[in-house]
Copies of this chain bind each other. A is one copy, B any other.
Amino acid sequence: MKVLGVDPGLTRCGVGVVDGAPGRPLRMLGVGVVRTPAEAEIGQRLLLIEQGLERWLDEHRPDLVAVERVFAQHNVRTVMGTAQASAVAMLCATRRGIPVTLHTPSEVKAAVTGSGRADKAQVTTMVTRLLRLDAPPKPADAADALALAICHIWRGGATDRIAAALAKAPTARREHLR
């Protein structure tokens, strides 16, 4: 399974592609960042993100896109841009019929380090180790995107089963859990 992980952001949108399956070695196929200038109009920035992500989708044709789930309680200043960048990522994937899964930051940290409260350095160390890289992935802020992809490969099935169960649950409860 080939997964494109997207760590959404307006200024820097981390992207990482990992190939693998549970119980088998992981392989990094690509890593990078889609950047947009802070001084550009918001519509223009979203368009640049769309164009950047389209290039990644064209090149790697992933089976699935894993996007970091954005929470409103984070930094109010940046959360709107993050939500908007994640919308573009989900839209690009869905438009191509590629399934999208969302993973929370703590799910991602727990998947690669064993702890949902791991720090950034720990995540980078484990991503480097798990992908058997000679050096930490560059740019550094793209390590999270690779971690997202790894997280999906390892726990994607479980998340999907939970999602399927929730889809059958009453709406109020489902919204609460989401």
| Residue positions of A touching B, CB distance < 8 A | 38-39, 41-44, 46-47, 50, 70, 72-73, 76-77, 79-80, 83-88, 90-91, 93-95, 100, 102, 167, 171, 175
Q: Which of B80, B94, B95, B175 contacts A83 (CB 8 A)?
A: B80
The answer to whether B94 and A46 touch across the interface, beta carbons within 8 angstroms, is yes
Q: How far is the CB of A102 from chain B (nearest CB, A)?
A: 7
> How many angstroms between the C-alpha atoms of A100 and B76 in the bound complex?
23
Contact, CB under 8 Å: B100 / A41? yes
Q: Which residue of B lies closest to A89 (CB)?
A: B43
Q: How far is the CA of A79 from the CA of B81 in the complex (A)?
A: 12
A137 to chain B, nearest CB (A): 26
Task: Report chain B residues within 8 Å CB of A38.
Answer: 171
